[in-house]
Amino acid sequence: ETQIMGSDIVKKYIIFGLLAIFLVLGVFYIKASQSKTGKASAVDGNDYTLGIGESVIINGNNIQLQDVDSQGNVKLYINSIRYTVKDYGEFAGFAISIVDYNYDDSKVGRKVTFHISPYKPDGALMIGGSTVTKGKTIIIDDVSSSGIIKIQVGGKAYEISESGVYDGVDIILDDFYYTYNQEERWVKLSFREDIITTTTTEKVEIQKTTTTSFKPPEQDYNFFQIILNWVSGLFSR
């Protein structure tokens, strides 16, 4: 009876082991199937299916599909600024997921289903917002649909569209968001260390070399002269 019970336990372990193996294989199969069809996880928002050249307007932003390749790399425009995304990306204030795509040799047959929703990162500055870095106040004046950011750095006005050094502050333009409602526009900036301009002055020292010949001290000169005279006298005898 003990042997029968032990045999039943072994059978149960074998069955559980086989079920676990089938479960793991099933998960890998599902992931592989999704990869082949170009599917990816999506975030909260709305789906938009676009063909090449087609566009959708969201909160005053024109989002247009430019192209998609066989690997699922998608090129798109947001208000005439081009971006490239694969699976997921955050651009111009939008979280964009590639839900599905269809690649065809003919551009007419290529389509992409996007999952798009606005987002705002932590630390984003709204219009009129400000921050202080390295003793200088950065103020956001406005954001345009073309990505032109109007800011003030230490009281000086600038229009920027990319990262750079402004009034000695190295500013990184992480992202921005434009919408019809000015109160909802924002800019996300980060900062590197201030640029320090160092001027190096090379000092060239001219060394003066003075050549001197040996001369006995004044008090010893007569003694040496006496010796020389004595030696000369020996040879003259």
Q: How far is it, in rounded angstroms, from Cα 116 to Cα 56?
A: 11
End-to-end Cα, the chain, rounded Å: 143
- In tens digits, what is the pLDDT along the chain, a chain of 237 residues? 545 555 666 666 676 666 667 565 554 444 443 333 333 333 457 999 999 999 999 999 999 999 999 999 999 999 989 999 999 999 999 999 999 999 999 999 999 999 999 999 999 999 999 999 989 999 999 999 999 999 999 999 999 999 999 999 999 999 999 999 999 999 999 998 744 443 333 333 434 444 444 455 555 555 556 666 655 665 555
The residues pairing with 150 across neighbouring beta strands, listed in sequence order, are 142, 159
What predicted TM-score, i.e. pTM, was given to this entire model? 0.60
Do the Cβ atoms of 173 and 166 come closer than 8 Å?
no
Do residues 130 and 137 make contact, with C-beta atoms less than 8 angstroms apart? yes
Tens digits of residue pLDDT in 36-46 = 333 333 345 79
pLDDT digits (tens, 9 = 90+) for 189-236: 999 874 444 333 333 343 444 444 445 555 555 555 666 665 566 555
Q: What angle do CA 8, 9, 11 make, to 5 degrees?
A: 65
